[in-house]
Chain A
Amino acid sequence: MPRNKKSRNTRKYARSGKAQLAANIVLGIIILALLAFAFMQYSTISGQANSIKGLEIQIKSMNSTISALRANSTGTPLTETKLTLYNLSNQQMPQPPLSLSAYPVVTQQQPFGKRLTNINSPLNSTELAVINDAPSSYFETAGEMLLNGSLDNYVGVGSGLQNVSLFTVNGKPSVIYLGSITCIFCGENRWAMALALSRFGKFNYLFKGYSSFGDGDLPTLYWRPMTYSNASGAMDIGNFYNSSLINFITLEDTNPITDGFNLQSLGQMQSELQQINNTPYIDAFNHILQINTFSGTPYTIWGKYVIGGADAVDFGNTTPSSTPFPLTNMTHAQVLSQLANPSDQFAWTEYAGADVYIATMCASLNNSAQACSLPAIRGIESKIGATP
Chain B
Amino acid sequence: MITYIKRLPRAFKKIYSPKYIVFNVIAAIAYYFVITYFIKAQNYGIILILVPKYLFYLVIASASIMLTTGIYTTINSLHKKGNAAITSLGTVASLFTGLILGCGCGAPALFAITAIGASLIEASAFASTLVNYSMPILAGVVVLNILLVLYYAGKVSMLKRR
Task: Please report A residues at the B interface, Cβ cutoff 8 Å.
Answer: 10, 13-14, 17-18, 20-21, 24, 28, 32, 35-36, 39-40, 42-43, 46, 154, 180, 183-186, 214-215, 260-268, 270, 289, 292, 294-298, 308-310, 313, 315, 319-323
Considering the complex, give the chain A residue whose CB is closest to the CB of B98: A39
| Complex: A294 Cα to B134 Cα, angstroms | 21
Contact A296 B46 (CB under 8 A): no
Considering the complex, give the chain A residue whose CB is closest to the CB of B99: A39
List, in ascending order, chain A residues with CB within 8 A of B9's CB. Answer: none
Contact with A along B20-48 (1 / 0, CB 8 A): 00000000000000100110010011111
Taking A180-B105, A262-B131 as known contacts, 17 extra A-B pairs with beta carbons closer than 8 A to each other, sorted by chain A number, are A20-B84, A36-B34, A39-B38, A39-B41, A42-B108, A185-B106, A261-B131, A262-B132, A263-B105, A264-B128, A265-B128, A266-B124, A266-B125, A267-B125, A268-B128, A295-B107, A309-B44
| Interface hit among B11-19, B70-78, B138-146 | B70-78
Contact B124 A267 (CB under 8 A): yes
List, in ascending order, chain B residues with CB within 8 A of A296's CB. Answer: 104-108, 111, 127
Of the listed residues B48, B71, B78, B88, the one surrounded by the most CB atoms of chain A closer than 10 A to its CB is B48
Contact B75 A17 (CB under 8 A): yes
| Complex: A78 Cα to B111 Cα, angstroms | 35
Contact A185 B104 (CB under 8 A): yes
Number of interface residues of B (CB under 8 A): 43
| Complex: A154 Cα to B45 Cα, angstroms | 10
Known: A32-B34, A36-B37, A289-B120. A265 touches B112 (CB 8 A): no
Contact A289 B76 (CB under 8 A): no
Contact A294 B120 (CB under 8 A): yes
| Complex: A315 Cα to B112 Cα, angstroms | 28
Picked from B34, B50, B84, B125, the residue with its CB within 8 Å of the CB of A261 is: B50
Instruction: Tell me, rounded to whole Å, the shortest Cβ–Cβ distance linking A104 to chain B.
Output: 26
Task: Please report B residues at the A interface, Cβ cutoff 8 Å.
Answer: 34, 37-38, 41, 44-51, 71, 74-76, 78, 80, 84, 88, 91, 95, 104-109, 111-112, 114, 120-121, 123-125, 127-129, 131-132, 134, 162
Contact A20 B80 (CB under 8 A): yes
Picked from B95, B109, B114, B124, the residue with its CB within 8 Å of the CB of A265 is: B124
Picked from A46, A266, A321, the residue with its CB within 8 Å of the CB of B120 is: A266
| Complex: A322 Cα to B104 Cα, angstroms | 14
Contact A313 B46 (CB under 8 A): yes
Contact B106 A295 (CB under 8 A): yes
List, in ascending order, chain B residues with CB within 8 A of A185's CB. Answer: 44, 104-106
List, in ascending order, chain A residues with CB within 8 A of B107's CB. Answer: 295-296
List, in ascending order, chain B residues with CB within 8 A of A154's CB. Answer: 44-45
| Complex: A260 Cα to B74 Cα, angstroms | 40
Instruction: Tell me, rounded to whole Å, the shortest Cβ–Cβ distance linking B106 to chain A.
Output: 3
Instruction: Tell me, rounded to whole Å, the shortest Cβ–Cβ distance linking B115 to chain A.
Output: 8
Contact A289 B50 (CB under 8 A): no
List, in ascending order, chain A residues with CB within 8 A of B111's CB. Answer: 294-296
Contact B105 A297 (CB under 8 A): yes
List, in ascending order, chain B residues with CB within 8 A of A265's CB. Answer: 121, 124-125, 127-129
List, in ascending order, chain B residues with CB within 8 A of A264's CB. Answer: 128
Considering the complex, give the chain A residue whose CB is closest to the CB of B42: A296
Contact B75 A10 (CB under 8 A): no
Known: A39-B41, A322-B46. A263 touches B106 (CB 8 A): no
| Complex: A39 Cα to B58 Cα, angstroms | 25
List, in ascending order, chain B residues with CB within 8 A of A260's CB. Answer: 50-51, 134
List, in ascending order, chain B residues with CB within 8 A of A323's CB. Answer: 47-49
Contact A297 B47 (CB under 8 A): no
A-B contact pairs, 6 of them (CB 8 A): A215-B105, A266-B120, A296-B127, A308-B106, A310-B105, A313-B46
Considering the complex, give the chain B residue whose CB is closest to the CB of A180: B105
List, in ascending order, chain A residues with CB within 8 A of B123's CB. Answer: 295
Q: Report, nearest first, the 8 A-B pairs whose CB atoms are least far apart.
A: A296-B106, A183-B105, A295-B111, A265-B125, A322-B47, A266-B124, A265-B128, A185-B105
